[in-house]
């Protein structure tokens, strides 16, 4: 990019609390991303020399920047969400300027042609009356292409289970469509949306950059074992006995267990088990 917008207050707020080394490495990496227009390959030795830092200092600063979300680690390399946002802004601004220039020059060309051909052709010549400048067709084609791209992204956005960072995701989808079709991406997102494991949802930019649409469905969580179920039921029974609404017999936790068989205490097997567990837990706590 030949130029980018720079907001001093955003920069100062975003780098507040960073060390001088971290700030220097951060601005150098971001400027390199702007210059390339793509993620930076994560070659620590080369990037350390680029930033004027030792390998150890660069690695430590980079880990901090990644941990704070300032730098994103993608399959294609290191990236930044603000760079992605500015790329979208400049692309849209360039497209608007191009359409305005085409319209302006198209109008001048039409005026010149009308002036030169005024004496050669009748004003309502069949070959000239319905003719439109080439720039108009070019503009219509551009708009149709943009609408098609917007429709593809909207389909993906409705299916993906973690729709965050919309502008960055739009740019990432455009890059992904150079590698595969929109149908393949949407099918992969639909499989990902019904996963059964408890891992956090992936950021859509990272998901697209890493080509996760080809991932196999996650394996379902194993069923609860008999032992785990027994332990859970015991915990639930103890919690129920500790509840103020418990309607069972009163249990003296300070008394020693009676030297009687279980069937002579007057308690049900469940309540007798709970009494012993409570007494054991209370003695362990006092010890």
For the chain, helix, strand, coil in percent to 5 are: 60, 0, 35
Q: What is the pLDDT of residue 215?
A: 86
Q: What is the pLDDT of residue 24?
A: 94
Q: What is the pLDDT of residue 273?
A: 77
d(CA 51, CA 28): 6
Asked whether the beta carbons of 246 and 240 are under 8 A apart, the reply is yes
d(CA 269, CA 105): 94
Q: What is the pLDDT of residue 9?
A: 85
Q: What is the pLDDT of residue 22?
A: 92
Tell me the CATH number for domain 8-79.
1.10.10
d(CA 98, CA 56): 46
d(CA 171, CA 92): 12
d(CA 245, CA 162): 42
Q: What is the pLDDT of residue 263?
A: 47
Greatest extent of the chain over all pairs of C-alpha atoms, in Å: 126
Residues of each domain in the chain carrying CATH 1.10.10: 8-79
d(CA 45, CA 54): 8
Q: State both tokens at 209.
A: 């950059």
* pLDDT tens sequence for the chain (287 residues): 667 788 888 888 889 889 999 999 999 999 999 888 889 999 999 999 999 999 999 999 999 999 988 999 998 899 998 888 888 887 777 776 667 767 777 666 666 666 555 555 444 444 444 444 434 334 433 433 455 467 889 989 998 988 999 999 999 999 999 999 999 999 999 888 888 777 888 999 999 999 999 888 766 555 556 667 777 777 777 767 666 665 655 555 455 555 545 445 667 777 777 777 777 776 655 65
Q: What is the pTM of this model?
A: 0.36
């Amino acid at each position: 990019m030949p130029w980018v917008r720079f907001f001093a207050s955003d920069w100062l707020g975003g780098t507040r609390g960073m060390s001088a080394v971290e700030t220097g490495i951060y601005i150098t990496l971001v400027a390199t991303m702007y210059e390339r227009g793509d993620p930076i390959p994560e070659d620590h030795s080369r990037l350390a020399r680029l930033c004027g830092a030792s390998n150890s200092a660069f690695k430590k600063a980079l880990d901090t920047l990644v941990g704070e979300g300032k730098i994103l680690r993608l399959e294609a390399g290191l990236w930044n969400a603000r760079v992605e946002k500015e790329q979208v802004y400049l692309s849209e601004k360039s497209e608007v300027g191009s359409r305005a220039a085409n319209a302006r020059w198209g109008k001048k060309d039409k005026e010149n042609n009308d002036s030169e051909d005024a004496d050669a052709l009748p004003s309502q010549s069949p070959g000239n009356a319905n003719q439109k400048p080439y720039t108009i067709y070019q503009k219509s084609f551009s708009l149709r292409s943009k609408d098609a791209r917007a429709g593809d992204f909207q389909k993906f956005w409705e299916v993906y289970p973690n729709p965050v960072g919309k502008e960055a995701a739009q740019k990432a989808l455009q890059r992904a469509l150079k590698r595969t079709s929109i149908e393949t991406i949407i099918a992969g997102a639909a499989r990902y949306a019904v996963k059964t494991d408890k891992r956090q949802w992936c950021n859509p930019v990272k998901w697209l950059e890493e080509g996760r649409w080809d991932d196999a469905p996650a394996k379902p969580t194993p069923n609860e074992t008999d032992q785990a179920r027994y332990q859970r039921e015991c915990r639930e029974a103890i919690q129920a006995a500790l509840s103020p609404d418990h309607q069972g017999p009163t249990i003296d936790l300070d008394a020693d267990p009676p030297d009687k068989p279980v069937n002579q205490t007057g308690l049900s097997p469940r309540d007798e088990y709970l009494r012993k567990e409570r007494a054991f837990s209370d003695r362990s706590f006092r010890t």
